[in-house]
Amino acid sequence: MKQLLSEMAGHTQIDLDNTINSGQVFLWKRLDGFWYGINGQDVLKVSQSDRITSYQNSRTDFFRKKDNLEEIICSISKDKTTRLAVKKYLGLRLLRQDPFQCFISFIVSSNSNIQKIRSNLEHLSVKFGKKVSFDKKEFYTFPEPRKIASASIGEISSCGLGYRSRFVLDAARIIQSGQIDLEDLKKCSYSEANRIIQSVPGIGSKVADCILLFSLDKLEAFPLDRWMIRILEKYYPGKFGIKTKSITQKQYEVLHEKIVKHFGPYAGYAQQFLFKMERENYQKKWL
DNA sequence: CCAAGGCCTGAATG
DNA sequence: ACATTCAGGCCTT
């Protein structure tokens, strides 16, 4: 562990490629040696050597640079597997995304795959976002809640969302009407925010955890999808008492409690490292 | 509380 | 080619 931390001190650099390419964000492209990404109404630009810049000159800490990584890594490194994953992907980070974009993105993600999610979100942005020019390149910002909220089902489903179109429309209306204020959820506890966000049709346990972890600062969120279940079965056989591949809501809750008990309050970081390691093992192409 | 089945769509598989 | 299966779930019965 000591060795790991001293290694970190020299390598506090963020590993951009692996971070952007870790299933958290979908609207990022590499152009002329830079990464450009849509974050709500903003476009971010970053390269491995330069500071992050933004179309809107916003100050969002997108890469969570203020997180105390040393403390977090110490905290989550409870076992061999996690230590290996952390060591292998030291520069991997959680991102702090625009909440509404994240909210819609993960509703769209359910029962889908990366490529389709990206295609769906790009279509939504072209159709309902604003065209902006940044660095002499064109981008479409992510649609504002009111734009989606006032669309028809047909317009939304023309973006290829299928049966998720209804969920996306209703979800946007819930935000637009103020029935749920995503910023407010940042101030709630994990379980309270989780309960509220799961009241939205189309958001179950897994999608909720993604939104909470990637945009609402709930670092104990630990999205349990098919991959994570497989990972837990493989590296922690018997430890968490997983019985079936698809788990019920109740089983999800029980499992999540055990996870937090094991990994601690920054469990979400552990999830990210483990997930990345296993996906890489399977040599999946993501971008 | 659990199990089973259906769901849009596109890429992968046979 | 063409049919079938499957994918980073969720909802209803």
- A33 in any annotated domain: yes
A2-6, A7-11, A85-89, A254-258: least confident range:
A7-11
- Which class for A137: exposed (0-12), middle (13-18), buried (19 or more C-beta within 10 A)? middle
Q: What percent of chain A has pLDDT over 70?
A: 94
Q: Phi/psi at A35 (nearest 5 deg)? A: -95, 130
For the record, the structure tokens of A114 come out as: 């990366």
Tell me what the pLDDT averaged over chain A comes to: 92
The count of structural domains within chain A is: 1
pLDDT surpassing 90 at residue A12: no
- A51 in any annotated domain: yes
CA–CA gap between residue A250 and residue A257 (Å, rounded): 11
Name residues 234-263 of chain A with a Cβ under 7 Å from nucleic strand B: 244, 248-251
Name residues 83-142 of chain A with a Cβ under 7 Å from nucleic strand B: 111-113, 115-116, 119
- Residue A223 CB lies within 7 Å of the nucleic strand C: yes
- A286 in any annotated domain: no
The domain spanning residue A35 has which CATH number? 1.10.340.30
Q: What is the pLDDT of residue A285?
A: 45
Nucleotides of B under 7 A from a protein CB: 1-3, 7-11
Q: How far is the CA of A202 from the C1' of B7 (A)?
A: 12
Mean pLDDT within A107-135: 94
Closest nucleotide to A163: CA versus each C1': B8
- Residue A201 CB lies within 7 Å of the nucleic strand C: yes
- A70 in any annotated domain: yes
Model-level pTM?
Answer: 0.95
Range(s) of the domain holding residue A135: 2-10+19-89+97-281
For the record, the structure tokens of A124 come out as: 């939504």
Closest nucleotide to A113: CA versus each C1': C7
Q: What is the pLDDT of residue A286?
A: 45
Closest to A232 in 3D by CA, of A211, A263, A203: A263
